[in-house]
Amino acid sequence: MTDRDRTRADAVYAALLERAGERWVQPRKERTARLLEYLDDPQKTYRVVHVTGTNGKTSTSRIIESLVRAHGLRTGLFTSPHLERFTERITVDGEPIGDAAVADAWDEIVPFVEIVDAELDAQGEEPLTFFELLTALAFVAFADAPIDVLVLEVGMGGAWDSTNTADGDVAVFAPIDLDHAERLGETIAEIAEVKSGIIKDGAAVVSARQHPAAAEVLRAAAAARGASIAFEGEGFAVAEQRLAVGGQQVTVRGLAGTYSDEYLPLYGAHQGFNAALAIAAVESLVGGGAQPIAGDVLAEGLGQATSPGRLQLVGVDPTVLVDAAHNPHGARALSAALRESFDFDEWGVVLGILGDKDAAGIVEELAPIAAHVFATAPASDRAAHPDAIADLAEARGAGVTVHGDLAEAVEAARAWAVSADRRAVVIAGSVVLAGEAVMLGQSEDWKAGWSR
């Protein structure tokens, strides 16, 4: 990477940020489809595993990508949001896309962006948005690479998401819960209906365990489209999990085989379930049907799986973890994982939440493991005020202090942790906060005592 390449890539991100942001979501994919049509539909040049759900979809996507890559196939992975730099969202063969490649792809699409923007303006509509353009940019970059298989994470929902301009050979459903209710619906069934829109005719569908209302919707959608469907607990399952150094050993009963005592370098029972879902997805993809995964391939794929910002160790002496849990379901999984995977008596929770999230629900799930809450705010104009977070935590019986920014909160949390034996710190509540924490761990001021 040269300085010129980085400058070009930074200019791409600046141009994207000039567009309506990721929170500006309308239920339509036609605008993205129009742009892609001008670009000769690059998203149709590779096979696609399409992943949606409320929680766990990023980790599941990353495990799928690692397993596919272990088969010797060239992979693309599209996820959101990013923790540090936007190129993390577009990875090729397990690495963030190069600055030159993303800038070249941008240069390819700009003339056609101008055409579509002009058409939209003539119709009285706003220009293409950040996420619409990012999706098209990724599709072009993957076609240019080129890749064999794209693991594609939905931005929001499914049916009308920009990513749904691609046709998934396999549709993957992580657990569906209440989130983005103002956009997706106020019930689990309504949200599942939107998410079920990623199922394409004749596709293979694999799903985590779901609320009965969500499962009913997914079964009906699969039947209507002539798609096969397999649920965790019926078609595949985690048979056994036990702690191991740096992660866990899992035994998975897949769709086409049983895989015993496989090492997964990720903490938390929920990551074992994500791995089982990923295995079922890859079994469904490889060979055009449910085919077993060779033992050496599975070991390599699981062993190389990573999930940045998900129970990520960023500090030692004291132990400091980062987790992007940003809704009650994610906070519940985090709370369970801290109990199951770590041997500490007390946890200090550095907590910052965006204002449009269910802060009360997040606090309720984390309060049982929080000896002390260090309330702060993510660096976002959407952040909830730390005082509001503190009030919720105090009402749940936790000790609370309020801090103006993350650095101050972490400094206080680390001091608290070293003041007594068997204490540790977890930073949670927002993907934005998680990204800040990872970057903080890299700064010169925080090198001492921090681990990569």
Continuous segment of H or E residues that includes residue 134: helix 130-144
DSSP codes, 46-64: SEEEEEE-SSSHHHHHHHH
Strands 346-351 and 247-253: unpaired
| CATH 3.90.1150.10, domain 3-304, yes or no | no
pLDDT of residue 291: 85
Mean pLDDT of 404-425: 95
Span 221-279, pLDDT tens digits = 999 999 999 999 999 999 999 999 889 999 999 999 999 999 999 999 999 999 999 99
Question: Which region among 8-12, 20-24, 25-29, 139-143 has the lowest average model confidence (pLDDT)?
Answer: 20-24
Question: Which region among 7-16, 18-27, 124-133, 157-166 has the lowest average model confidence (pLDDT)?
Answer: 18-27
* C-alpha span between 188 and 193 (Å, rounded): 9
Span 70-108, pLDDT tens digits = 999 999 999 988 888 999 999 999 999 999 999 999 999
Span 367-387, pLDDT tens digits = 999 999 999 999 888 899 999
pLDDT of residue 440: 85
CATH topology assigned to domain 312-444: Protein-Tyrosine Phosphatase; Chain A (3.90.190)
- The 10 Å Cβ neighbour count of residue 420 is 10
Ranges of each domain in the chain: 3-304, 312-444
Span 277-289, pLDDT tens digits = 999 999 999 866 6
pLDDT at 22 > cutoff 80: no
